[in-house]
Amino acid sequence: MTATVSALLAHKDAGALAIGAPGRAWLSYGELRALAGQVEADLRGFGIGAADRVAIVLPNGPEMAAAFVTIAQAAVTAPLNPAYQEQEFRFYLEDLRAKAIVVPAGYEGPALAAAAPLGMTILRLHGDPDQPAGQFRLTGTPAATPAATPAPPGRPGPDATALILHTSGTTSRPKIVPLTQSNLVASAGNIGASLSLSPADRCLNVMPLFHIHGLIAAVTASLAAGGSVWCASGFDALKFFGWMKEAEPTWYTAVPTMHQAILARASRNRDVIAAHPLRFLRSSSASLPAQVMLELAETFRAPVIEAYGMTEATHQMTCNPLPPRAQKPGSVGLAAGPLVRIAHEVENRLIEGTGEVVISGPNVTPGYEGNPEANAKNFFEAEGRRWFRTGDQGALDDEGYLRLTGRLKEIINRGGEKISPLEVDGVLLDHPAVQQVVAFALPHPKLGEEVAAAVVLREGQSATEREIRDFCASRMADFKVPRRVIILDEIPKGATGKLQRIGLAEKLGLGQPA
């Protein structure tokens, strides 16, 4: 396989459909390649070279997908969440040392206010709803000088950085993760191989495109396989089945909370599901509860492929296989690209049994930028390879399927007893009234931490905190039973739709229990 994004798309059928969107004509591969050539010429004219960093602040949709794919062929992309406030934009733009920023035409929001004092080139993206999905043109002026000195021609090579993302910091400063052209190509190939993607496949993308999951699994993997990607404006459970009718996808990928929201509306959309059968559904970015996996498979009458990914791996690390190979609910599947092993949680050596999940392969970042301390902590050499510590605890079974216990930082330490929040989630989800759950650590003055859980009840169902705790007590050891069960209409989520355990007690206003 080729090792740059531009070469990846060079030989696809020019007339084949590449990018679609609600109410829009399709953008073909030929049109996408022509757009990439124009974007490269525009960037060079604005003085943006192959090694320069371009922040992209665009709403979800086909223009964001096309901007990422085309700019990545000519420079370094740095997608940012358009919902950030000015202070957040200022931090990320300074940290990235971005030379230019792409914003929608007519945009006058906080990203511009943050970029103005940094002397960045402001590029405005002009889309046209009457043009094929993703078609755009760039205009702009350099902020620092009246006229740009054109940059030299030439596209980035395999080892050049293609994409820069920040890890989502919970208690510490976010780390910069540079991903190379060859990282992107390797990961897109891994995903395509694990899902048997072909030009006949179409992905309905509902994932945010400032996040690795949507950028690589939905967009890049689809295009690498010669398939098509239909880009919604973001996730909306109320619109999902209407999108299914229009897009006619063969698959979609989402985080567990999105799948659960889709399930909640599935019963009234059985006709759409029957008329537009999916080849498979994919879930990643957080553990999919076994109960949800089985309900999705039954509802859509299609296999549910759970994958395990993270930014430092350019997304995918493991993946449950397609039939006829076994699906294992509660497992994140088999190694799907990189080598996957278990390491001692403190010592730099590989072990058998339960420990920290580590990976090694061509999709793994070369290392955090400007952070030797983090690199020393997260990378180590063993058995002739360089391994990356994922921060997740887990174990491989006899067939090589990986089961995760949880994030090492999220394991609840109750007076020395270690409790996996995923295990607590699994028990709570067996309660007939519980639709969604996230177990988390609650500070305790004597034990250090105590188990708590936030739950959302199924529509039309009722249950009290006492009933839920009694249900848990009949199924697990007393020290694992949540001491607090908070019943909510909605559990707070991060920007990408993931449930976040760390800091949830504080978010819910739960102080030190008596």
Q: Report the alpha-carbon distance of residue 262 to residue 228 in Å, rounded.
A: 22
Cis peptide before 324 (omega within 30 of 0): yes
Question: How would you write 144-184 as a 3-class SS string?
Answer: CCCCCCCCCCCCCCCCCEEEEEECCCCCCCCCEEEEEHHHH
Do 342 and 388 form a contact (C-beta atoms < 8 A)? no
- pLDDT, one tens digit per residue, over 255-303 is 998 999 999 999 999 999 999 999 999 999 888 888 899 999 999 999 9
DSSP state of 117: G
Mean of pLDDT values over 463-480: 91
Q: Which band of pLDDT confidence, cut at 50, 70 and 90, is reported for residue 514?
A: very low
What residues form DSSP beta bridges with 443?
449
Residue in this structure with the two tokens 């420990």, named with its chain if needed: 355
Q: Under the phi-then-psi rule, with left for phi > 0, alpha for psi from -120 to 50, and beta for the rest, what region is 495? A: alpha
Within this chain, domains 24-184 and 410-507 share the same CATH topology: no
**pLDDT at residue 282, as a whole number:** 97
Find the mean pLDDT for residues 488-510. Answer: 83
Q: Please state the domain extents for the chain.
A: 24-184, 410-507
Kind of pairing, strands 228-231 and 251-254? unpaired
DSSP state of 116: G
Exposed e or buried b per residue across 471-510, where buried means at least 16 C-beta atoms within 10 angstroms of its C-beta: bbeeebeeebbbebbbbeeebeeeebbbbbbeebbeebeb
Quick one: tokens of 190?
A: 């891994």
pLDDT tens digits, residue range 316-344?
A: 999 999 999 998 888 999 999 999 999 99
What is the average pLDDT value for the chain, to the nearest integer?
A: 92
pLDDT higher than threshold 80 for residue 173: no
d(C-alpha 252, C-alpha 271), whole Å: 18
Residue 91 vs residues 114, 254, 311, 444: alpha-carbon distances, Å? 9, 28, 19, 34
Give 172 or 468, the one with higher predicted confidence: 468
What percentage of residues in the chain have a pLDDT greater than 90?
A: 79
Model confidence at 172, pLDDT cuts 50, 70, 90, reads low
Q: For residue 416, is it left (φ>0), alpha (ψ between -120 and 50) or beta? A: left
Q: Residue range 450-462: average pLDDT? A: 92
Q: What was the pLDDT predicted at 170?
A: 47
Q: Taking the CB of residue 364, how many other CB atoms lie within 10 A of it?
A: 23
Single-letter code of the amino acid located at 72: A
Residue 221: per-residue pLDDT: 98
Residue 144: the pLDDT is 44
Greater confidence, 140 or 246?
246
**Alpha carbons 421 and 451: distance in angstroms, whole number:** 8
Does residue 147 have a pLDDT over 80?
Answer: no
CA-to-CA distance for 140 and 249, rounded, in angstroms?
36
Distance in angstroms between the alpha carbons of the first and the last residue of the chain: 60
pLDDT band of 81, cuts 50, 70, 90: very high
DSSP 438-502: EEEEEEETTTEEEEEEEEEEPTT----HHHHHHHHHTTS-GGGS-SEEEE-SS--B-TTS-B--T
Q: Does residue 512 carry a pLDDT above 80?
A: no
Section 111-121 average pLDDT:
94
| pLDDT at 143 > cutoff 60 | no
Give pLDDT, residue 342. 97
Tell which wins on pLDDT, 68 or 504. 68
pLDDT at 198: 97
Is the pLDDT confidence value at 235 over 70? yes
pLDDT value of position 513: 47
- Nearest partner of 303 among 314, 287, 319, judged by Cα: 319
Instruction: Evaluate if residue 396 carries a pLDDT over 60.
Output: yes
Q: Is domain 24-184 in CATH 3.40.50.10490, yes or no?
A: no
Superfamily of domain 410-507: ANL, C-terminal domain (3.30.300.30)
| Residue 341 backbone phi and psi in degrees, to 5 | -135, 180
Residue 511 pLDDT = 66
Tell me the C-alpha distance between 321 and 401, whole Å.
10
pLDDT for residue 421: 87
Supply φ then ψ for residue 98, to 5 degrees. -70, 140
Task: Give CA–CA dist 24/392, Å, rounded.
Answer: 41
CA distances from 303 to 24, 243, 306 (A): 30, 20, 10
